[in-house]
Structure 1
Amino acid sequence: MLRVSPIAIALAAWLLVPASAAAYGPKVRKLCANDYMDNCHLYRLGTPEVRACMRKAGAKLSPRCVDALIEEGHVSASEVQQRRAAAGR
């Protein structure tokens, strides 16, 4: 039986996303793939639902993913700092 790894599924999902998701650069696609699979895989990439899910999962996202999202302008560094302060981190 052919087994497909979760990484292959995530990669295929990133490659088959609609054009609106192309706004995510390669760094976010690479560094946030596991965060997406862990928290928001029930939502199609490039949709408002996945964006809302990732925002809701903010405290659970890996630092590398958050840094990539800041770098690409999907979230501001000040918003991240405010959320961390509110969470006591």
Structure 2
Amino acid sequence: MDLILLWLITLVLGYWIFKKFKEWQSTTGPLGCPFRLFAILNAKLPHLSLTELSKTYGSIYSVQMGNVFTVVLTDHRLVREAFSKETFSGRARCF
């Protein structure tokens, strides 16, 4: 009985890890580890830190900030185009 339970837990944990790796590979931007993000972002001037990340990942990239998946736009033309559409006019969901 214990061996079956251990096998089942290992299988579920392996599936979850595989799913997270696939998720991390599909996005452009730094990995979603919160400790790594705090090391990258400057608390007093976060906009400058995000601008530095745009030099590495391009003018549109994603960042996982805790439970919130965030898309960062650093080009003024992209921002203007995004806010001209109805889908970008709302606020983010709060958890």
Q: Give the TM-score normalised by the residue count of structure 1.
A: 0.25
Which of the pair has more CA radius of gyration? 2
Which is helix-richer, 1 or 2? 1
Which is strand-richer, 1 or 2? 2
Q: Give the TM-score normalised by the residue count of structure 2.
A: 0.25
